[in-house]
Amino acid sequence: MIEIVPVEGLPEIHEGADLAALIADRITLTDGDVLVVAHKAVSKAEGRVVRLAEIEPSEEARHLAADEDQRRLEVILRETARIVRSRPPLVISETRHGFVCASAGVDSSNAPEPDTVVLLPEDPDASAAQLRERLRELTGAEIGVIVSDSFGRAWRQGTTDVAIGLAGVRPLVDLRGVRDPAGYELHATVIAVADELAGAAELAMGKTAGIPAAVIRGAGAAGEGTGRDLLIPAERDLFR
Amino acid sequence: MIEIVPVEGLPEIHEGADLAALIADRITLTDGDVLVVAHKAVSKAEGRVVRLAEIEPSEEARHLAADEDQRRLEVILRETARIVRSRPPLVISETRHGFVCASAGVDSSNAPEPDTVVLLPEDPDASAAQLRERLRELTGAEIGVIVSDSFGRAWRQGTTDVAIGLAGVRPLVDLRGVRDPAGYELHATVIAVADELAGAAELAMGKTAGIPAAVIRGAGAAGEGTGRDLLIPAERDLFR
């Protein structure tokens, strides 16, 4: 059996907050647990918040904004390595990390104050590793950590939470070469376990209830890798 | 807390099997549970299995097969409404249902015998509704049912399980118009809860362990809708 336990009662997170300590105060962690933290809590603790009043929109941002806030589009463009699709004011970007997502991951909801937007962490794998190390110090528990975000998908309605950074979790389970009970090789089967863990955690979080973290127990997902392992290499991607 | 419990000990499923009875014999269901069943078990019970010996490949199938089985490609083409991308022998199709996925959902692994392939159910929502109704008869429990499949994604490595059919489950949670704790409208937030449930169930199933079903408790996902609600309408899809 797998259990998903929300981390309840976390306060609003501000820059410099010891997020690991706030979590450790509210839930008991044991070896093998996977802690999933919504990136927004991580980004706020890391100060990845931009005041729109300080942003001067470029020509391109003004064009892409349609009737929406041009300064927000400017922030999105600064986080964008490449625009994959746009229909103003909607922009699907490839971020500097290599993620393909709406608005380059820039988000206005759950921002710490009006007229600010929250960026993705600079290095979500490093964020996950730091949380993991600090939680090991505080609790002694050997856990995995996933930093998650809500991504839209091509062809499918709605967002699911996926892993943008991780530490101590295997991102993929590769069953290529493994045989099914009938002896047939499962040659196309690589499962994005870390994304399924992130989505499962979202079920317990509740966007509006202000619960930005959940712990998954019994998933047997300990391992090594990075959030980048979940990106398709450009030469194998049929949708770039 | 949410729990995910695998349905263990199911036998190999053959055409005409009473899948609901086999499941009800192995796990106690209670109101509000969500049962997730891998489509392959459903398809086998429904006889959606094709013997490759009976298939004559077309010219197009021979072209798309590269070095792989041309008869398998022929079956894929018959399940395909439109080819979205191809790099022989890999074909990404839009199925007759409207799903965009590899091989039009046609799968050779976990097939009941060698030289057979398993198709998607004809109508996965109807399959889910029938399982739900039969389980209500057998157990009295008012549950939700999801029929799942493992889909690849654009830009991201590996598959995650998603909902291709459902009954008694809300496919999406629409937070548009809902305000976050700071009062900011979550205007872009529609969460594909049924896909997250399907992915969460996969974590407990294990492709090679022969566990094609899991029960999710405590997710609060009861509702109405169809698997088609999870498809982006063509006119809003930037990736068609």
Interface of B with A in 42-61 (CB under 8 A): none
Is a pLDDT exceeding 70 seen at residue A151? yes
Which pLDDT belongs to residue A185?
Answer: 55
Final residue of a structural domain among A120, A155, A182: A120
Which pLDDT belongs to residue A17?
Answer: 98
* Residues of chain B contacting residue A4, judged by C-beta atoms under 8 Å apart: 1-4, 200
Final residue of a structural domain among A72, A89, A120: A120
A215: helix, strand or coil:
strand
Which CATH number belongs to the domain containing residue A71 in this structure?
A: 3.90.1660.10
Closest CA to B38 of B110, B140, B144: B110
Final residue of a structural domain among B60, B94, B120: B120
Residues A66 and A185 placed together within one structural domain of the fold: no
Residues B19 and B102 placed together within one structural domain of the fold: no
C-alpha to C-alpha distance for A124 and A225, rounded to whole angstroms: 12
Which pLDDT belongs to residue B233?
Answer: 85
Nearest CA in chain A to B184: A109
| Overall domain count for chain B | 2
Is a pLDDT exceeding 60 seen at residue A119? yes
A170 located within any domain: yes
The residues, ordered by sequence, that sit 6+ positions from A12 with a Cβ below 8 Å of its Cβ are A112, A210, B181
B38 located within any domain: yes
C-alpha to C-alpha distance for A128 and A20, rounded to whole angstroms: 10
Q: CB–CB of A207 and B100 under 8 A?
A: no
B70 located within any domain: yes
Split at pLDDT 50, 70, 90, the class of B15 is very high
Residues B128 and B111 placed together within one structural domain of the fold: no
* Residues of chain A contacting residue B208, judged by C-beta atoms under 8 Å apart: 175, 178-181, 186
Domain that holds residue A108: 49-120
Closest CA to A200 of A24, A19, A6: A6
> Count of CB contacts below 8 A, A vs B?
229
Q: CB–CB of B200 and A195 under 8 A?
A: no
Q: CB–CB of B159 and A184 under 8 A?
A: no
Residues B75 and B136 placed together within one structural domain of the fold: no
Residues A146 and A166 placed together within one structural domain of the fold: yes
Residues B42 and B148 placed together within one structural domain of the fold: yes
B75 located within any domain: yes
Which pLDDT belongs to residue B224?
Answer: 96
A34 located within any domain: yes
Which CATH number belongs to the domain containing residue A173 in this structure?
A: 3.30.1330.100
Q: So what's the ipTM on this one?
A: 0.95
Q: Establish whether the linkage from the previous residue to A89 is cis, with ω within 30° of 0.
A: yes
Selecting from B182, B186, B199 the residue whose C-beta is nearest the C-beta of A207 gives B186
Q: What average pLDDT does range A88-116 have in this prediction?
A: 89
Residues B135 and B186 placed together within one structural domain of the fold: yes
pLDDT in tens, B124-178: 999 999 999 999 999 999 999 999 999 999 999 999 999 999 999 999 998 876 6
Which pLDDT belongs to residue A206?
Answer: 72
Q: CB–CB of A196 and B199 under 8 A?
A: yes
